[in-house]
């Protein structure tokens, strides 16, 4: 009986050790920030824009926004700055009072970060957040024959909850999300299992001492 108790104690202590000392998944640790993922999607959309700008690279373009999810806010400002950084050699302006040859109209711009799930991969794992970043808009060209395009892409992955502050950028609301409530497994079952294992370990420890 003492051997069984000792083996049980060692097993429970091993479980507790794994729960507290298990290293994080390296792939999750290397996950990009929310803003980095958004920039990847924006750059993909700007490839479509760049193809069209090449058709009239000598024109002065006025960049306009209509029907944005949050008009005249940081989303439009950030989008505008990314375009100008992406195409520094093109004449893209923001002031309608200045002369221009054509207009680039961005319709229904939406940039968003959502946390869709808070979970644990197993009984001994850390908490992870499943996220989705989204970029969508319609682009049309006025006063020119260039055809517009629609863009909608999203990217989903997961990251360690402990790195939440690293993932978000306090300067941009669209790079932040709201954590969903924990499920029963993460909120109750795992903590209860750890507490029970700890209690059993203590009982077995004193049982072994009394039997020695």
Give the model's confidence band at 151: pLDDT under 50 very low, under 70 low, under 90 confident, else very high.
Answer: very high
Q: Are residues 79 and 43 in the same domain?
A: yes
Residue 185 has pLDDT above 90, yes or no: no
CA distance linking residue 190 with residue 198, whole number of Å: 12
Domain count within the chain: 2
Q: Are residues 196 and 137 in the same domain?
A: no
pLDDT given for residue 19 in this prediction = 52
Q: Are residues 14 and 62 in the same domain?
A: no
- Which of 2-11, 29-38, 63-72, 118-127 is the most confident on average? 29-38
97-114 pLDDT per residue, tens: 999 999 999 999 999 999
CA distance linking residue 159 with residue 107, whole number of Å: 32
Q: Are residues 157 and 66 in the same domain?
A: yes
Question: What is the number of alpha carbons within 13 Å of residue 176 lying toward its C-beta?
Answer: 8
Residue 28 has pLDDT above 80, yes or no: no
Q: Are residues 164 and 197 in the same domain?
A: no
Q: Are residues 39 and 83 in the same domain?
A: yes
38-71 pLDDT per residue, tens: 999 999 999 999 999 988 889 999 999 999 877 6
Q: Are residues 70 and 162 in the same domain?
A: yes
Q: Are residues 159 and 120 in the same domain?
A: yes
Domain that holds residue 148: 31-178
* Mean pLDDT (whole number) for 127-149: 96
User: Which two tokens mark 15?
Assistant: 């479980």
Q: Are residues 67 and 47 in the same domain?
A: yes
Contacts of 3 (CB under 8 A, 6+ apart): none
Residue 198 has pLDDT above 80, yes or no: no
Closest CA to 185 of 123, 106, 101: 123
- Which of 61-70, 75-84, 120-129, 175-184 is the most confident on average? 75-84
Q: Are residues 20 and 113 in the same domain?
A: no
Alpha helices (H) along 22-143: 26-29, 34-53, 74-86
Q: What is the mean pLDDT of the chain?
A: 83
Residue 156 has pLDDT above 70, yes or no: yes
CA distance linking residue 161 with residue 119, whole number of Å: 9
Report the percentage of the chain scoring pLDDT > 70. Answer: 70
* Of residues 73 and 156, more confidently modeled: 156
Q: Are residues 109 and 174 in the same domain?
A: yes
What CATH code is carried by the domain that includes residue 116? 3.30.160
Give pTM, 2 decimals.
0.74
Give the model's confidence band at 125: pLDDT under 50 very low, under 70 low, under 90 confident, else very high.
Answer: confident
Q: Are residues 66 and 49 in the same domain?
A: yes
Residue 193 has pLDDT above 90, yes or no: no
């Amino acid at each position: 009986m003492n051997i069984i108790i000792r083996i049980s104690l060692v097993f429970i202590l091993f479980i507790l050790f794994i729960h507290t000392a298990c290293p994080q998944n390296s792939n999750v640790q290397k996950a990009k920030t929310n803003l980095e993922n958004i920039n990847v999607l924006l750059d993909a959309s700007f490839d479509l824009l760049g193809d069209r700008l090449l058709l009239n690279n000598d024109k002065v373009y006025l960049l306009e926004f209509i029907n944005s999810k949050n008009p005249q806010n940081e989303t439009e400002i950030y989008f505008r700055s990314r375009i100008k950084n992406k195409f520094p050699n093109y004449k893209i302006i923001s002031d309608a009072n200045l002369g221009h040859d054509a207009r680039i109209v961005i319709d229904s711009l939406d940039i968003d970060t959502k946390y869709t799930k808070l979970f644990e991969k197993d009984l001994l794992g850390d908490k992870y957040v499943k996220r989705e970043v989204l970029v969508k808009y319609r682009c049309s060209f006025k006063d020119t024959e260039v055809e517009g395009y629609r863009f909608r892409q999203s990217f989903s992955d997961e990251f360690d909850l402990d790195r939440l502050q690293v993932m978000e950028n306090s300067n941009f609301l669209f790079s932040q999300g709201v954590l969903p409530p924990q499920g029963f497994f993460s909120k109750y079952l795992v903590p209860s299992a750890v507490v029970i294992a700890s209690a059993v370990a203590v009982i077995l420890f004193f049982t072994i001492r009394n039997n020695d």
